Amino acid sequence: MQAYLDNAATTATDPLVIEAMMPYLTTHFGNPSSIHGHGRTVRSAIEKARKTVAQLLGCSPAEIFFTSGGTESDNTAILSAVQAYGIKHIISSPLEHHAVTHTIDYLEKLGVAEVHWLRHNETGVLDLQHLEELLAQYPKSLVSLMHANNELGNINPLEAIAELCATHQAYFHTDAVQTLGKLPLQLDQLNVHYLAGAAHKFHGPKGVGLLYVKSGYGIPPMVHGGAQERNMRGGTENVAGIVGLAKALELAYQHREATWAHTQALKQQMRARLSELLPDLQFNGLSGQDEGCVPQVLNLSLPPAEDGDMLLFNLDIAGIAASGGSACSSGSLVGSHVIRGLREVQQNPMLDLRPAIRFSFSKYSTSDEVEFAAMQLAQLYSASPVLS
């Protein structure tokens, strides 16, 4: 048996999404910038997709721009907002995805903006009082805080953050890659200026994402060379990908409550089984509970073991796909910056001996996969000398 439990990294593309995309990979091959019939057909498909996405997210189609994915959307929002509004201060969290932290580090190294890191506690919950203090000291800053952490699953209170930003005339960007299609968003009622998403996190295709830009807060393009996306992103559009993104988001919203309940049950099952099978287990962030955390993510620290650094490789050999952190950096073997950030707050050097692992679920995950993964993990530990 095999178990794919790395859905926070990417999800399997829904067959209905593939079906919706196929005509734009075969028959409808025209360039959407062409004025003839072939071009008009695919242009119509792009704009229909834009309207679908806007309707689901509660915003205007003119506020939705299609990109190559979450990383490009994050980069565009941060870099372009700083350029457009002459922002000198950026407030963010050290637990953000590298698409955010590396971008703002880059701006600080250039001397363009000063970065202020928000405090968090040992479970990764952000200190909103500290945010208020920073905003009072640096009004009109750019605040970049994700909706839900991709490694821990912690949900950040967007409404409260948006309120603080509005009070201090700050610009607010959020990476919603892990929540798009999973949590309801009504963007016309939320003071978020920029929001990023990626199709492959909700059973859409890879290589396509979206950027929401609130009306009245236009930003200059990062990609030049054409008038596509209303002059926001030059280059011929990924038509099939855009159609797939819209279809995937539509399906995600149709089945959102059922998917939430399904993944929550799987996470509860895995928590219970691992707690039975493994001594001295610790759950990271808020993933040890049901509240304040997305149900598709479970992050845990295992007991110290001699070959703990080989855990993911051994799981892979056993047929289990899981992650030690973000998929964008999991191959680097440098460890998770998010787990490292939590352990720095806890100030317990013994925690560094504990290997951390993220299991993540989707609508296609099964109870049998969870049971198989839990048993295999327990067997791996029973065969490995535990460090004292």
- Residues taking part in catalysis: 328
Burial of 51 (0-12, 13-18, 19+ CB in 10 A): middle
Distance CA 143, CA 165 (A): 8
Distance CA 232, CA 223 (A): 7
Of 101, 154, 102, 94, nearest in space to 130 by CA: 94
* b/e code 91-128 from CB counts within 10 Å (16+ = b): bbbebbbbbbbebbeebeeeebbebbbbbbeebbbbeb
Of 224, 209, 294, nearest in space to 80 by CA: 224
Distance CA 105, CA 90 (A): 10
The length of the chain, given as a count of residues: 388
Residue 203 three-state SS: coil
Other residues' Cβ atoms within 10 Å of the Cβ of residue 348: 11
Which tokens is 290 given? 């049901």
* b/e code 314-339 from CB counts within 10 Å (16+ = b): bbeebebbbbbbbeebbeeeebbbbb
**Strand partners for 120:** 126
